[in-house]
Amino acid sequence: MDDFQGRVAVVTGGGSGIGAAMARAFARLGSRIVLADLDRAGMDGVVSEIAAGGGRAIGIECDVTDLRAVERLADRTFRELGAAHILCNNAGVGMFGPLAAATENDWKWVMSVNVWGVVHGIHAFLARMIEQKQGGHIVNTASMAGLAGMPGLGVYCASKFAVVGLTESLARELKGTGIGASVLCPMIVNTRIDSSDRNRPKELQDPGAKKVSINDVAMTVARVIEPEEVAERVVRGIREKALYILTHSESRDVLRRRAQRLAEAAEKLATG
Ligand SMILES: NC(=O)c1ccc[n+]([C@@H]2O[C@H](COP(=O)([O-])OP(=O)(O)OC[C@H]3O[C@@H](n4cnc5c(N)ncnc54)[C@H](O)[C@@H]3O)[C@@H](O)[C@H]2O)c1
């Protein structure tokens, strides 16, 4: 998909950070935007900014962990805007700390947003996007933590590996439909991810648990980049139909080491 003009782009988690930047970038290119987020005030700010720039956007309150809510989002998008061409399953939360300390609630919360949120987006939109026969593109936000395991990020890595695997399968299944699929895998981006807890439902909170910051566990020496740079990469990735959208050149060494370890393990088998 290389023409954003007149397209409809749905961005979950569009009220802040990477989602807001993607929405602004698509709007600048002439797409009409549907933001979906828990954060009404955040979405209102992005909608106003887009309108001030001459673009069109609406914000719909939606909890991506709730399939019915995501189905309602899809219904409203198709009813009010007539189509959906770009779907960014981007809403996500960060939870950091060693696996030995992770609670059942930590797992439930992170999986419900980072994995089920993406699954619900695919479930509610994909069949209709195929049926409308107008082409399009799906971008699922994973992370570099979805391409390499990292200490202190086990729960988050597990959720993001799922998003990578799902998207690799999706891209292959969509061949011939005119719809592309990409998985976005940034390293560190200057957003509100370190305060993801603000969106943690009460019933999944563990009062008294020690809060671990991303800065306490991020082992990589990656630059902190701005969401706008990520959004530019996403636009380019959609145009180039790239399966993997990476944002940091620093990821090269991490990926090389992983690929090498895997190749060595296979080599060992092959050579007996
Ligand atoms: N910031 C980083 O360093 C980084 C790196 C790699 C991947 N990511 C991923 O990027 C995506 C966007 O995160 P961000 O960094 O912009 O953080 P952010 O906290 O600034 O934005 C996340 C948005 O998702 C929304 N959200 C959270 N739970 C939700 C739910 N249940 N339903 C609907 N919306 C919900 C929040 O309200 C927020 O507006 C996430 O999937 C995150 O895992 C971020």
Per-block mean pLDDT, blocks of 10 residues, the chain (272 long): 92 98 98 98 98 98 98 98 98 95 97 98 98 98 96 96 98 97 97 96 90 75 92 98 97 96 96 86
DSSP, res 115:
I
Beta carbon of 19 within 6 Å of any ligand 1 atom: yes
Residue whose tokens read 């190749």? 263
Strands of 86-89's sheet, edge to edge? 56-61, 32-37, 8-12, 86-89, 136-141, 179-185, 244-246
Identify the pLDDT of residue 76.
Answer: 98
Atom of ligand 1 nearest to the CA of 94: 43
Q: Tell me which residue of 156, 72, 186, 184 sits closest to 120, measured CA to CA.
A: 72
Mapped onto helix, strand or coil, the DSSP state of residue 52 is: helix
**Residue type (1 letter), 4:** F
Tokens of 266: 């296979």
C-alpha of residue 52 to centroid of ligand 1, in Å = 24
**Per-residue pLDDT reduced to its tens digit, 198-237:** 999 999 999 888 888 887 876 567 899 999 999 999 999 9
- Measured in whole angstroms, the distance separating CA 99 from the mean position of its chain's CA atoms is 23
Beta carbon of 59 within 6 Å of any ligand 1 atom: no
Domains of the chain: 8-270 (3.40.50.720)
Beta carbon of 193 within 6 Å of any ligand 1 atom: yes
Q: Are 47 and 24 in contact, with CB atoms under 8 Å apart? A: no
Atom of ligand 1 nearest to the CA of 141: 41
Identify the pLDDT of residue 219.
Answer: 59
Mutation probe of ligand 1 site: the residue of 199, 220, 247 with most atoms within 8 A of C-beta:
199
Full-model pTM: 0.97
Distance between first and last Cα of the chain: 46
C-alpha of residue 90 to centroid of ligand 1, in Å = 7
List, in sequence order, every residue forming a beta bridge with 246; answer none if it has no partner.
Answer: 185
The Cα–Cα gap between 265 and 42 comes to 47
Beta carbon of 46 within 6 Å of any ligand 1 atom: no
Q: How many CA atoms lie within 13 A of 30 on its CB side?
A: 6
Rounded to the nearest 5°, which phi and psi values hold at 200? -80, 125
**Residue type (1 letter), 156:** Y
Atom of ligand 1 nearest to the CA of 196: 19
Mapped onto helix, strand or coil, the DSSP state of residue 36 is: strand
The Cα–Cα gap between 116 and 123 comes to 10
Tokens of 161: 């590996």
